[in-house]
Chains A and B, each alone.
Chain A
Amino acid sequence: MKNGVCGSMESNDCLITVEPSDKTEIIIESIVYDFYGMQIREVIIDTLNELNIDDVRVFCIDRGALDYTIKARVKVAVERMRAR
């Protein structure tokens, strides 16, 4: 399956997996879901919009990553998916 993975499950990081999909789907599992779940979703959506893509499924396993980390991991996961 043509997917792209970036990041890790270390503290302060997140593991992002993206794969092609009919429409944008975002699945988040986070140790701080109750507090930042919505914000994580927003950052992922904003990043996808910036990259102009609307046809990926994004899995995010979060270990307390800040916004900039989520954004960077999503960007590179998409690049890696495209490169395959």
Chain B
Amino acid sequence: MIRSCLFVPAHNPGMLQTADLFDADAVIFDLEDAVSYEEKDAARSLLVEFLKNFKIDIKVIVRINNNPLWFYHDVAAIATERLDAVLLPKADSESLKKALSLLIRFEKERHLPKKISLIPLLETATAIMNAEELLARPRIGGVMLGAEDFTADMGIERTKSGTEILYPRMKIALVARAFHIIAIDTPFTDINDEAGLIKDATAARTLGMSAKAAIHPRQISHINRIFAPSAAQIERAQRILKKSADTAGVFSLDGKMIDQPIIERARKTVEKAKRYKLI
């Protein structure tokens, strides 16, 4: 259950050490696009030592390299009890299979206490097209849209208004909902455009994305606010739960019919509100 995840380049000690400060629900330590070829080994080693020695109280996601040069070594290095999920870029059927089998293997060999989940990053036309097939697998905890690479793959322009990614957003939100996994929206890349970020995040939320990636700490408070239930929603959910505690079956509140699915949604809303310390 997250609203925001902050990308943090794994090669930069100063950024690693402050990753947990900015109120993101999860951090994505990036071994892939943020790190140059020559520094892949150094970034991996730095991240491993960091995770071993620095106690941070936040969900840890690592974006590995989907490239034969580093794929195996990345997973082998990071598969520890500190890891919550692997973000797999350029996700496709084969790489998902490979990642899953490696995770299972290392969890067993290393007696890890919990199952590490997989988050495919869908960034090609094929991946979006095959979303149902890719996401209907074990261990998939969430899915992220990668709009920069997707639009490059499509040969179209990436814009702030985001019309070009309307369909991928909707499809991913839909499939994610059907499979009960989180749908993480693509980052908004202009870190100086606060209004643009708010517009973009709101659009994603409206379409059903449940969270958004951030590439700079200053984006997080906006993302958290937009993807959290509003004060009005929380208050209504609390009233629904209160009434449902005393009333059996279907009832009406504020002139609307309240049945089981709505009560369930209210329960989730209150849970989220508590989790995000909004109540």
A and B touch in the complex (CB under 8 A): yes
Residues in chain A within 8 A of chain B (CB atoms):
6-7, 10-13, 65-69, 71-73, 75-76, 79-80
CB-based contact B14/A71 at 8 Å: no
B49 at the interface (CB under 8 A from A): yes
How far is the CB of B73 from the nearest CB of chain A, in Å?
11
Query: Which residue from chain A places its CB closest to the CB of B45 in the assembled complex?
Result: A72
Interface string of B39-74 (1 = CB under 8 A from A): 001100110111011100000000000000000000
Q: What's the tally of chain B residues with a CB closer than 8 Å to chain A?
A: 14
Query: Which residue from chain A places its CB closest to the CB of B51 in the assembled complex?
Result: A68
Q: Which of A6, A13, A79, A80 contacts B13 (CB 8 A)?
A: A13
Q: Once A and B bind, how many residue pairs between them come within 8 Å at the CB atom?
A: 45
| Distance A80 CA – B53 CA, assembled complex (angstroms) | 23
Residues of B within 8 A of A10 (CB): 12-14
- Which residues in window 1-54 of B have CB below 8 A to A? 12-14, 17, 41-42, 45-46, 48-50, 52-54
CB-based contact B14/A67 at 8 Å: no
| Distance A76 CA – B53 CA, assembled complex (angstroms) | 17
CB-based contact A7/B49 at 8 Å: no
Residues of A within 8 A of B45 (CB): 72-73, 75-76
CB-based contact B41/A69 at 8 Å: no
CB-based contact A72/B49 at 8 Å: yes
CB-based contact A66/B13 at 8 Å: yes
**Additional A-B contact list (6), CB under 8 Å, known A7-B42, A10-B13, A69-B46:** A68-B46, A68-B49, A68-B50, A72-B45, A73-B46, A75-B49
How far is the CB of A48 from the nearest CB of chain B, in Å?
15
Residues of B within 8 A of A72 (CB): 42, 45-46, 48-50
Residues of A within 8 A of B13 (CB): 10, 12-13, 65-66, 69
| Distance A10 CA – B16 CA, assembled complex (angstroms) | 14
CB-based contact A13/B49 at 8 Å: no
Highest count of chain A CB atoms <10 Å: which of B46, B50, B52: B46
CB-based contact A11/B46 at 8 Å: no
| Distance A7 CA – B42 CA, assembled complex (angstroms) | 8
Query: Which residue from chain A places its CB closest to the CB of B14 in the assembled complex?
Result: A12
| Distance A68 CA – B48 CA, assembled complex (angstroms) | 9
